[in-house]
Structure 1
């Protein structure tokens, strides 16, 4: 295995393969920087070009794009408060507040370095477990996937910021919006109000842009200032890298968990991102600054964001079950190249060199993407100093186009505006918006897996071992956050009493 890995490294380092890897990485950066596009769009751009290519060159180009798009999407998340893709949603919670404090370069430096480390750890774990992961993936059925969705929903309470009622209400509102449209289980349309546009539901790009982007743009224009409240950038890219090194155990833990969750088909980047953010916040001793510009709120999600791509390749290669939209398109590219035969053949026999080439390309692309992003971040961070009256019109055009491209229907723009108004009202009254997005993202998978579990196993699925373990973990997340919060309040009261005496 190690000898084959060394041979695959020599193949990956061939100048021609490095050139195509760079092309894919460049496309990934461009796609990632534009809000609302994501890896699926990037793959769609490259797929027509891989037909007839040398398999290893084609793999290098596709993996370059797939790995780097989740690095480039950090730019809009930090600088604009706009999720660059579904896997960078949690980064805005602390990345954007840091940019408003003039610390954009620091946040970007930490994010890019953690993305590189997470991507490399994901590739290493993929190499280590791909040969033995088959029984793990086979043990996960619809009951386990439903419980993972419930585990993601448990983050609603953690992210409520001391307002559990508002957080739950926002989460349920997101769940309701998430089930608008056709219910595949019963073949009926729900909550469409006889509007043809709503038959397919509201796209996630429209939801994320409206909920987070438009309210920020409105506030910038109303206050007539730049994104940064200061007129001078503080911190630097190197200070962000030092922050990541100082929190090295957080980087390692988030990367390992992100890879493990990426193995589970159907979980998606949104769940991983929010779960890691909630876990980071809950397990941090001093967490009062989370949501207001805590660098750990950037380090945790960004470490897991790229690491999960390594895990998502396990079911893709072993079973042909894509772990995300990006890996689904990657599988199509492998088929075009004539190299894909999902199953044991990908880790034993003729498919092994291709698999190892994918792993090396994943690691090399993360290094290349990080180097390019770090070199650009110093200049790009200056966008946070541009006055709103000059920056906002340009951003609104980009966001409107990004919303429209979701389904290329004029209803996308109307939905973008309506959700933007709702998001702005929530921001003004102090309601957390993150729980609403979590509820929206998890509504359909939770409903689908629950229906499958009940139809296949009735209520017996509740006794499955993994279901019980995930349920216990969910209860720990829900009640543990309350316990930690009560302890913190008690500690603050005791400190205040000690100060008075």
Structure 2
């Protein structure tokens, strides 16, 4: 019966008109995915009304086609310009962007598309065969096991912190503290809202992601005044097939990440960003030399992220179809489409309406194939984006980033959050702190608190003795024990002391040349630890008067963070006693021209870039966001990018009009109020009337 229903659904999908609808959804999904900060959630919300007049099969095929290829398109900005197309593709930036900087954009794209294709098909196949048999397993997976899984995910930050486990744990604790901001669900306690209604719902993920990852890369690219790719690839097509070979040679890693992405994708609420980082961390541990090479341009990091990124979509559909439980916000919108077309998720989809279920399965599989084929066909053109001069690329992408951040809650606070985390993200990157654990902590923080409350309320302390919990928590415990033993054994090596004793640290001048530790580095490298200690101590002190349910998680995490900082201080002291060099000098690198600059020139350029970014915020308050972006792009391209007048004018107008049509006319975005708009309300509609 299952085979007959699957074949019947395949015939439905290949109806000519319905197949064209799927292709249209794929094209729209690719377009939406390329724009940073938009993603499949906004795309699903945008296209849902257009399915009202379609039959259920066509409507679901259209929506699934759009949604399935969005993760594939997210890869393009992540690799080419270092800007995550969505929060779930931030892990791809870690290795994809450094590859583009080396002129290997074609290779990175080829590897990502191949692993995306395999991962997408894997997720679809798993969905097709798992739905009828996974119900008992899903019912047995309770909140204690979900809590243990979240804790396991947080401990995997050690693998995505490029070998510095302690910094990764501190950053993860920082992310969990950020996740505590806002209205606590159980008690209604307002935590660290600073009398701002905007923070009642917490810190928006979209603005934080773009601030941590996108803006720091863009301002450094602007300060370097070069294109993304420092080398022009001789043959994009050849590099593309080199990436295909990389994926095939690492086929075991592809299937491992696909399996992990699909399984974790089926866990309601876990979310794409957490899944990608868990898959990335798992891959870093499982492949040879991954802990050291991941984050520096290792193609295996791209492969692992993209395989999990696409396979998770099939997994996310499992609880949505089988139990009516959306695994993500996007799935919640898809449930709305089900209701709109009279489809009731649950047992009926697994018995009486298997044709609809397998229509979704086939749509998912076919959309992945179509999306990847389109990307392969245009990879040469896409890779050339990495050769666009920074004077054109930086203001264009920054403009999209500002709109993408503002689209989070459509409040001026989104831009403030973007600016704050842009500074934090740049400081973390500059002084050697991995930014990924902050995102992972933010994503998992709310889930940890929710699952902890339910587990302790229902089971008390007995949830810790459940077999599944013991098995999952044993993994991080054993890993930490192994790391601690290895650390102390390394301290005993006599050769280390001998080597360290031979190293003499020169006195730091005011402006250190390349090869010495700069004065600012000498201050900020330990200063970052001090700031972390102050943050956790402040969080502990300011949360003492909250109700127990409200303060339990933030105080626990802050205490853990403070303990990690103290342990790190002890470790640094032991390393210095052993004669090991703690502060590493900056080295000139063709891959990072900023490292070759003296401090004075470097920070002067960074100050100019931050001034440009800040000017967008000031302009938004004065004249509005869209007019400010027009002035910003024109001014930056002409004066900072030194582009010719005519080219600047043409590029600025084309991009601005496209943004206006997309965000103002199609998405009908309510723009933030400005002083000029308040003084002259008629100006708000003047541009719309003209265009």
Change (3 A) 1:313 1:169: same
Cα shift at 1:233: 5.7
Partner of 1:87 in structure 2? 88
Quick one: distance in 2 between partners of 1:476 and 1:118? 30
Cα shift at 1:481: 6.4
User: Given that residues 282 and 484 in structure 1 are in contact (C-alpha distance below 8 angstroms), is that contact kept between their aligned partners in structure 2?
Assistant: no
Quick one: distance in 1 between partners of 2:296 and 2:172? 21
User: Given that residues 180 and 201 in structure 1 are in contact (C-alpha distance below 8 angstroms), is that contact kept between their aligned partners in structure 2?
Assistant: yes
Change (3 A) 1:40 1:486: farther
Partner of 2:59 in structure 1? 58
Quick one: distance in 2 between partners of 1:259 and 1:482? 32
Quick one: distance in 2 between partners of 1:334 and 1:486? 57
User: Given that residues 157 and 168 in structure 1 are in contact (C-alpha distance below 8 angstroms), is that contact kept between their aligned partners in structure 2?
Assistant: yes
Partner of 1:356 in structure 2? 358
Structure-2-length-normalised TM-score: 0.69
Change (3 A) 1:254 1:407: same
Alignment match of 2:242 (pick from 239, 242, 253): 239
User: Given that residues 50 and 336 in structure 1 are in contact (C-alpha distance below 8 angstroms), is that contact kept between their aligned partners in structure 2?
Assistant: no
Quick one: distance in 1 between partners of 2:33 and 2:484? 36
Q: Residue 378 of structure 2 aligns to a residue in which SS?
A: helix
Cα shift at 1:35: 0.9
Compare CA radii of gyration and give the structure with the larger one: 2
Alignment match of 1:253 (pick from 251, 256, 259): 256
User: Given that residues 158 and 481 in structure 1 are in contact (C-alpha distance below 8 angstroms), is that contact kept between their aligned partners in structure 2?
Assistant: no
Quick one: distance in 2 between partners of 1:489 and 1:140? 42
Change (3 A) 1:437 1:360: same
Cα shift at 1:163: 2.4
Q: Could you give the per-residue CA deviations for residues 473-497 of structure 1, whole angstroms, max 9, x where no partner exists?
A: 3334545667899999999x89xx9
Partner of 2:386 in structure 1? 384
User: Given that residues 81 and 228 in structure 2 are in contact (C-alpha distance below 8 angstroms), is that contact kept between their aligned partners in structure 1?
Assistant: yes
Change (3 A) 1:421 1:318: same
RMSD: 2.1
Quick one: distance in 2 between partners of 1:103 and 1:488? 37
User: Given that residues 148 and 267 in structure 1 are in contact (C-alpha distance below 8 angstroms), is that contact kept between their aligned partners in structure 2?
Assistant: no
Change (3 A) 1:450 1:96: same
Quick one: distance in 2 between partners of 1:362 and 1:481? 41
Quick one: distance in 2 between partners of 1:260 and 1:67? 17
Cα shift at 1:27: 1.6
Partner of 2:546 in structure 1? none
Change (3 A) 1:433 1:249: same
Which segments of 5 or more consecutive residues in structure 1 lack a partner in the other structure?
none
Change (3 A) 1:312 1:484: farther
Structure-1-length-normalised TM-score: 0.94
Cα shift at 1:164: 2.6
1:203-282 correspondence to structure 2 within 5 Å: 203-232=204-233, 236-282=239-285
User: Given that residues 9 and 362 in structure 2 are in contact (C-alpha distance below 8 angstroms), is that contact kept between their aligned partners in structure 1?
Assistant: yes
User: Given that residues 95 and 296 in structure 2 are in contact (C-alpha distance below 8 angstroms), is that contact kept between their aligned partners in structure 1?
Assistant: yes
Partner of 2:347 in structure 1? 344
Partner of 2:411 in structure 1? 409
Partner of 1:177 in structure 2? 178
Partner of 1:472 in structure 2? 474
Quick one: distance in 1 between partners of 2:62 and 2:99? 34
Partner of 1:335 in structure 2? 339
The reply on whether 1:298 has 2:302 as its aligned counterpart is: yes
User: Given that residues 122 and 310 in structure 1 are in contact (C-alpha distance below 8 angstroms), is that contact kept between their aligned partners in structure 2?
Assistant: yes
Quick one: distance in 1 between partners of 2:354 and 2:476? 38
1:118-157 correspondence to structure 2 within 5 Å: 118-157=119-158
Partner of 2:101 in structure 1? 100
User: Given that residues 104 and 233 in structure 2 are in contact (C-alpha distance below 8 angstroms), is that contact kept between their aligned partners in structure 1?
Assistant: no
Quick one: distance in 1 between partners of 2:306 and 2:388? 26
User: Given that residues 155 and 169 in structure 2 are in contact (C-alpha distance below 8 angstroms), is that contact kept between their aligned partners in structure 1?
Assistant: no
Quick one: distance in 1 between partners of 2:139 and 2:363? 27
Q: Residue 282 of structure 1 aligns to a residue in which SS?
A: helix
Change (3 A) 1:484 1:212: farther
Cα shift at 1:225: 1.0
Partner of 2:370 in structure 1? 368
Q: Residue 190 of structure 2 aligns to a residue in which SS?
A: strand
Q: Could you give the per-residue CA deviations for residues 284-306 of structure 1, whole angstroms, max 9, x where no partner exists?
A: 12223211000000001110111
Change (3 A) 1:113 1:488: farther
Q: Residue 132 of structure 1 aligns to a residue in which SS?
A: coil
Alignment match of 1:309 (pick from 303, 313, 320): 313
User: Given that residues 90 and 213 in structure 2 are in contact (C-alpha distance below 8 angstroms), is that contact kept between their aligned partners in structure 1?
Assistant: no
Quick one: distance in 1 between partners of 2:42 and 2:73? 14
Number of aligned pairs?
492
